[in-house]
Amino acid sequence: MKSLQSRVVTRKHSPLHQKWCGGECFFIYQSLKLNSLITLTIKGDFYYGKVESFTLDHTKVKAPYVRLITEEHGEQGDVISNYDLRLVQPNENAIPTAGLHTIEHLLAGLLRDRMTGVIDCSPFGCRTGFHLITWGEHSTTEVAKALKSSLEEIANVTKWEDVPGTDITSCGNYRDHSLFSAKEWSKKILNEGISDEPFERNEI
């Protein structure tokens, strides 16, 4: 078992070449920002980039909440923001896949109706919430209000025919949907209140 090491790299180190006794591995790294630094951890034959979400103490947060994870600034001045839309308390609950899947499909349109610059809204593998990626900068209050309004529509207005991507041609797992589950979880989240702060309750 190879020992863990850390290495800081910049674009001038791309491509990276790392030889092990058991073979040769090639890695290409390109920074989003000129001369920006990232930390890569070597574990066995693999490089792992440092991910902010894995440094978050999940025992300290108080869901439901919206949290700004990071803002990336491009060379031309563009900004991409990444938000943590945490719907249920980590390690205490998880939304079943069918309900989460339907919420995902609905949020794809509902958030775009309520915010500018939405790029993507994708569920966490742990099934406790979503990543929201946007162009530009938005306050967590703005995002929380858009999320709350979207969940209110799911809970109180949405009908099955309103759910996009529910057939074999438009979804990769079209059988795994439940509007009933999506509505019940949306009601539960709304009843608990959505905070624009992750570590203290500041419901919007």
Annotated binding-site residue? 101: yes
- Separation of alpha carbons 31 and 14, rounded Å: 9
Q: Which residues contact 14 (CB under 8 A, 6 or more apart)?
A: 28, 29, 30
Annotated binding-site residue? 17: no
Q: Which residues contact 135 (CB under 8 A, 6 or more apart)?
A: 78, 79, 80, 81, 116, 117, 119
Annotated binding-site residue? 105: yes
Alpha carbon of 187 to those of 6, 97, 110, 155: distances in Å?
45, 17, 16, 6
* Residues of each annotated binding site for Fe cation: 101, 105, 171
* Residues of each annotated binding site: 101, 105, 171
